[in-house]
Structure 1
Amino acid sequence: MMAFIWHSALLLSLAAVIAVYADVKLDCRPDFMSLVWTESRHHADTSLFRLGTCVPTSSSPREATFNVEYTDCNFRMMVTGNKVVQSNDLVYWAPGSQVQTFVHPVICVFDRPKEWSPATYEPVFSTYGQSGLVFHMALMNDDFTGPAESTRFALGSFIPIAARVEEHTHQPMLLLMEECIATTTPQPQSAHFYNIIGNKGCLLDSKSSRSRFQPREVSSEIRLYLQAFKFALEEEVFIHCKLVAWDPSGIDNTKKACNFVKGNGWELVDNPAHSKLCDCCETTCKSRWSRSVRSGKHGIVQNAVLGPLTITEVGP
């Protein structure tokens, strides 16, 4: 019988604040889960809650209830070690409401069945994002022609990572990695982490290594050669990234991809002639009110995770 682990310790800081105004009951079962959100704020409309792509199974003036299977609502499944993790986001979206929009992570963790094993290794993150976009992130082989053949990387070797967004009928999008960190847990909330990308698209690791964003072949994909770093050697490592799909004409100092080139400073991957946009990588790249893909306010953001992978000491 699989056992669930209550996830309150793993909540994002914003979600933790929101939880003060609500009572959350989560019941994780092997094939389905139940969630009851009891709201204390008078202006909240419980019918506006969404669990992934699912509307509430039922709602009342104070409660939103979801009884769903993991095959619905675009749950994300990740297998790590002897655990199976099913995760999703509970979102409150009410433009113009007195209750602020927020996201509350929902996580169910089970013991992995002994008979379970993957048919092939394919460390791909995939989910359904806003506006019909599908995001992917994967560990790749050296020339990016297929998935990585191993999850073990020697210290100093390169870890090829590719992320892309499927646009379908959507207008062309520019995919960016806004933030990436490495942790030893499937969740990004960890006291022990290594900062890879930060400051709105600056490859911070490139200042002390040979890590590089690669020149683009298409705007909807971004490739990264990450030099294996000295972090949690011989332990399970997870790479968490915030992916951003953006209007290609709307690049600014908060929507960019920048490498550090020794002796030359920061360089903009998509157009080195405009590398001045990367100058803030040494300070703080502040957000600006920018033109949106859809409404003039923001792009489309999706969190992704890769792992587990292992960084090993270089052999004799």
Structure 2
Amino acid sequence: MVTLVYLSVIILAWFATAANADIQVVCANKSVSITWEISADLVPYAARLFLGSCMPSHLNLLPSGKGEVQFNYGFENCKFKKQIKGKQMSYQNEITFRPYPKSKPAAFVYPIKCVYRSPANLNNQFLNPGSVSEGRGSLVFHMALLNEQLTGLATTNVIPLGSFMPIWAQVEQKSHQPLLLLMEECVAAHTPQLHSGSWVYPIINNKGCLLESKQGNSIFLPRYHSSALILYLQSFRLGHEGEVYIHCKLTAWDPDVLDESNKVCHYVKETERWSLLDDPFQSSICNCCDSTCKSRSKRQAEQESRGLRHNFVLGPLIVVEPDSPAK
């Protein structure tokens, strides 16, 4: 009882100083660093401070008796919410003080928001004859290998084993309503054509689940536009063969309709959970990635037949040992 009364006094004092909370936020490229100075009375309760779902990364005790709480996390953690509006992309979350069980509201909430300008120049820079482009109806799809800096098309198809291959895909929207580009399925093979007996290595399956994020270190990079997607794939070899072809099924879809059959999911090893790239708060639809995700509805199949889905092959990509000379 004494502890509860003392904690109530702390909470009242907290509200009195919340308006002047000393919180510093530094937004980096793919992460955020937050430093929060708290009173000496709150130091014993630092474990009840959260950034989204994450506890503090560090707690430093200051000579004054106060504490300095730090949160250092990437945007793929802590349930950050990603939003794309026009030429701006933002990651949003909240810092909270939760002295009571989760069923009760937080005693203090402080919004965190990192805003970036979508690199719209990428939208046009990659659209040139060097990329693979194919049309379906009034839609034009593109797929290409980017350079390491993600600033343009790759100038070589020779990839050192273990390095990353940025695979870029986009659908030109033209007069269409905004579209969300999805990679429904991707496999690696030795040949540019797939046959019924072809041996393939699955990369993405289950309607948008990136297997290589769980088995390896591959990820989806944050989008710069809903109509484009970059698969950051760690290179590998198929047996003793160094030549690899990447076969992908691309789908252009309604960005407001995310479900088990329309999603982009990758596995976050820090949390040991699947995360939805376009809205981490809806990551529950990725839970089927470890089992079987439901099939598309009849209406979706009809729309696909009108040109919202397309198959691509990218290659050959020559995967060599890191010290091997490029051929």
TM-score normalized by structure 1?
0.57
**SS across alignment from 1:245:** strand
RMSD: 2.5
Structure index of larger Rg? 2
Is 1:203–2:235 an aligned residue pair?
Answer: no
Q: How far is 1:145 from its partner?
A: 1.6
Is 1:174–2:177 an aligned residue pair?
Answer: no
Worse overlay, 184-193 or 209-218 = 184-193
Task: Give the Cα–Cα distance (whole angstroms) in 2 for the partners of residues 268 and 262 of structure 1.
Answer: 14
**SS across alignment from 2:250:** strand
Q: Would the aligned equivalents of 2:139 and 2:307 in 1 still touch at CA under 8 Å?
A: no
Worse overlay, 284-293 or 251-260 = 284-293
Q: Aligned to 1:218, which of 218, 225, 247?
A: 225
Q: Would the aligned equivalents of 2:130 and 2:153 in 1 still touch at CA under 8 Å?
A: yes
Task: Give the Cα–Cα distance (whole angstroms) in 2 for the partners of residues 243 and 207 of structure 1.
Answer: 21
Match of 1:77 in 2: none
AA aligned to 1:197 is I
Task: Give the Cα–Cα distance (whole angstroms) in 2 for the partners of residues 122 and 152 of structure 1.
Answer: 20
Higher share of residues assigned helix: 2
Worse overlay, 211-220 or 143-152 = 143-152
Q: How far is 1:201 from its partner?
A: 0.3
| Gap regions ≥5 residues in structure 2 | 1-127
Question: Would the alpha carbon gap of residues 181 and 276 (structure 1) be closer, same or farther in structure 2, given more than 3 Å must change?
Answer: same
Is 1:286–2:294 an aligned residue pair?
Answer: yes
Q: How far is 1:164 from its partner?
A: 0.1
**SS across alignment from 2:209:** coil
Residue deviations 1:32-88, cap 9 Å, x none?
A: xxxxxxxxxxxxxxxxxxxxxxxxxxxxxxxxxxxxxxxxxxxxxxxxxxxxxxxxx
Match of 1:257 in 2: 264
Task: Give the Cα–Cα distance (whole angstroms) in 1 for the partners of residues 290 and 301 of structure 2.
Answer: 28
| Gap regions ≥5 residues in structure 1 | 1-120
Is 1:275–2:262 an aligned residue pair?
Answer: no
Q: Aligned to 2:308, which of 280, 300, 314?
A: 300
TM-score normalized by structure 2?
0.55
Identity of matched residues, % = 49
Match of 2:34 in 1: none
Q: How far is 1:126 from its partner?
A: 1.2
AA aligned to 2:149 is D
Q: Aligned to 1:238, which of 245, 252, 277?
A: 245
Question: Would the alpha carbon gap of residues 141 and 206 (structure 1) be closer, same or farther in structure 2, given more than 3 Å must change?
Answer: same
Size of the alignment, in residue pairs? Answer: 195
Question: Would the alpha carbon gap of residues 252 and 155 (structure 1) be closer, same or farther in structure 2, given more than 3 Å must change?
Answer: same
Task: Give the Cα–Cα distance (whole angstroms) in 2 for the partners of residues 296 and 226 of structure 1.
Answer: 26
Q: How far is 1:290 from its partner?
A: 7.2
Q: Aligned to 2:143, which of 137, 142, 151?
A: 137
AA aligned to 2:140 is V
